[in-house]
Amino acid sequence: MTPPDLPLEGLPAPQEENSPAVSLRLQVLKNRSDFLRAARGKRVAKAGFVLQMIARPEGEAPGIRIGYTCSKKVGNAVARNRAKRRLREAARLILLQGGQPGHDYVLIGRRETTATQAFDDLQSDLAHALGILHGASK
């Protein structure tokens, strides 16, 4: 059984209420040169991570880009992956509101603390670090 066809004439087109002008996804840094450029910028060290930031030159893509890294000092592959998953989720929740378009950010995981720190503390540290980097608080 098929549903009856409705006449399409005279019906308004469906409107999307939340049509963002830019993408709400974070772009991920993948090239080594982008990580090295961010390393030359500002940085803030917190208990669970180090946050690096640099403004991109005019004319490049206007979105927020972020990279994640954990060295072997963080632990084996399982520990590094867990630390990066936690950093990615914290960035997804915090960086979309606190980050500025046209900037690159790199989150560097720390040994033992990135994977074990309370997630609420990790989020608040990231928000505070963003405030410091953008000059909102010292």
Of 71, 77, 61, the closest CA to residue 106 belongs to 71
Q: Containing H/E element for 49?
A: strand 49-55
**Is residue 107 one of the residues assigned to a domain?**
yes
**Is residue 37 one of the residues assigned to a domain?**
yes
- pLDDT confidence bin for 3, thresholds 50/70/90: low
| Number of domains forming the structure of the chain | 1
Residue with the bigger pLDDT between 22 and 66: it is: 66
Q: What was the pLDDT predicted at 138?
A: 47
What phi, psi does 80 have (nearest 5°)? -65, -45
**Is residue 22 one of the residues assigned to a domain?**
no
pLDDT tops 90 at residue 80: yes
pLDDT tops 70 at residue 134: yes
Q: What was the pLDDT predicted at 120?
A: 94
- pLDDT confidence bin for 73, thresholds 50/70/90: very high
Instruction: Report H helices in the chain.
Output: 32-39, 77-98, 113-116, 119-133
**Is residue 7 one of the residues assigned to a domain?**
no
What range defines the domain where residue 97 resides? 27-133
pLDDT tops 90 at residue 20: no
Number of neighbours of residue 105 by Cβ within 10 angstroms: 25
- pLDDT confidence bin for 135, thresholds 50/70/90: confident
**Is residue 94 one of the residues assigned to a domain?**
yes
- pLDDT confidence bin for 83, thresholds 50/70/90: very high
**Is residue 72 one of the residues assigned to a domain?**
yes
Residue with the bigger pLDDT between 16 and 38: it is: 38
**Is residue 9 one of the residues assigned to a domain?**
no
Secondary structure (3-state) at 66: strand
Which CATH number belongs to the domain containing residue 49 in this structure? 3.30.230.10
**Is residue 65 one of the residues assigned to a domain?**
yes
Q: Containing H/E element for 107?
A: strand 103-109
How far is the C-alpha of 25 from the C-alpha of 44, rounded, in Å? Answer: 23
**109 forms bridges with which residues in the sheet?**
49
